[in-house]
Structure 1
Amino acid sequence: MKLKHSIVRFLFGSLSVLLLFFLTGCWSSHEIEELSLGVGMAIDTNKESNSEKMINEKGEGDSKKNMITTTYQLITPEIASSSSKGGGSQKYSYLNISQTGDSILQEVRELSLRTDIPLNATHMKVVVIGDEVAQSFSLQELFDLYLRDNEFRPSCLVVVSKGRASDTLLSKKEGEVPAFRLFGIVDNAYRTTKILPPVSIIKLDGKLQSGSSFLLQNVVSANGQVKFAGAAVIDGKTKKLRGFLNEKELEGITWLTGKGKGGVVKSFDLQSKRMIVYEMESMKSKITPHVRGNNISFDVNIVSKGRLSEHRVDSSTPFENSFLKRAETSTGIAVKQLIDHSIKKMQKDYQVDVSGFGNQLKIDHPHLWEKVKKDWDQIFSEVPIRYNVKITIKGYGASGHYK
Structure 2
Amino acid sequence: MKCLQLILVLLLISITQTGCWNRVELTEKGFIMGVAIDQIKPGTIKFSVQLYKPGQMAGGQGGKQDNSFFNIETRSESIFDAVRDITLHLGRRAQFSHMRVIIINEKTAKREDLISLLEFFYRDHEPRLNTKVLISEGDASEFLKIKPLIEQTVTQQLNRMQEIGNVGTGKVPDVNLLELSQALKSQVPNIALPVASKKKDVVILAGMAMIKKGKMIGTLRGKQTENVLMLSDQYKSGVLQIPCEKTSKDAKNSTEAVEIQMVKTKLKPILKMDPLKVKVDVNIAGNIGELKCTKFEKREDQVKFQKKVQKLMEERLKDTIRFTQKEKIDLIGLGNQIYRSNPKLWKKWKKDWDNRYSTAKFEVKVKFDIRNTLSIVGKPLSDK
- 1:382 counterpart residue number: 359
- 1:99 counterpart residue number: 74
- 1:37 counterpart residue number: 31
SS in 2 for 1:114: helix
- Preserved CA contact (<8 Å) 2:265 2:280: yes
- 1:167, 1:345 → 2: CA distance? 31
- 2:113, 2:85 → 1: CA distance? 24
Which residues of 2 match residues 134-145 of structure 1 at below 5 A?
Answer: 134-145=109-120
Which residues of 2 match residues 245-324 of structure 1 at below 5 A?
Answer: 245-270=220-245, 272=248, 273=251, 274-292=254-272, 294-313=274-293, 316=295, 318=296, 320-324=298-302
For 2:80, give the aligned amino acid: L
- 1:352 counterpart residue number: 329
- 1:184, 1:276 → 2: CA distance? 28
- 1:154, 1:219 → 2: CA distance? 20
- 2:100, 2:124 → 1: CA distance? 15
- 1:338, 1:31 → 2: CA distance? 56
Task: State the TM-score, normalized to the length of structure 2.
Answer: 0.88
- 1:199 counterpart residue number: 175
Q: Post-superposition shift, 1:312?
A: 0.7
- 1:14, 1:144 → 2: CA distance? 45
- 1:56 counterpart residue number: none
For 1:248, give the aligned amino acid: K
Q: Post-superposition shift, 1:95?
A: 0.8
Task: State the TM-score, normalized to the length of structure 1.
Answer: 0.84
- Preserved CA contact (<8 Å) 1:233 1:245: yes
Decide which of 363, 368, 371 is 1:391's aligned counterpart.
368
For 1:323, give the aligned amino acid: D
**1:336 corresponds to 2:314:** yes
User: 5+ residue gaps in structure 1?
Assistant: 1-8, 47-63
- 2:56 counterpart residue number: 82
For 1:386, give the aligned amino acid: E
Decide which of 108, 113, 118 is 1:133's aligned counterpart.
108
For 1:86, give the aligned amino acid: G
Q: Which ranges of 4 or more aligned residues in structure 1 deviate by more than 4 Å?
A: 9-16
Q: Post-superposition shift, 1:345?
A: 1.7
For 1:87, give the aligned amino acid: G
SS in 2 for 1:160: strand
For 1:351, give the aligned amino acid: K
Structure 1 residues 118, 12: CA separation in 2 closer, same or farther (over 3 Å shift)? closer
Q: Post-superposition shift, 1:93?
A: 1.3
Q: Post-superposition shift, 1:10?
A: 10
Q: Post-superposition shift, 1:162?
A: 2.0
- 2:66, 2:92 → 1: CA distance? 21
Deviations along 1:45-100, one digit per CA (max 9) or x if unpaired, are 21xxxxxxxxxxxxxxxxx432121110111xxx32122x2223553211111112
**1:164 corresponds to 2:139:** yes
Q: Post-superposition shift, 1:186?
A: 2.5
Which residues of 2 match residues 236-251 of structure 1 at below 5 A?
Answer: 236=213, 239-251=214-226
Identity %: 26
Q: Post-superposition shift, 1:293?
A: 5.3
- 1:61 counterpart residue number: none
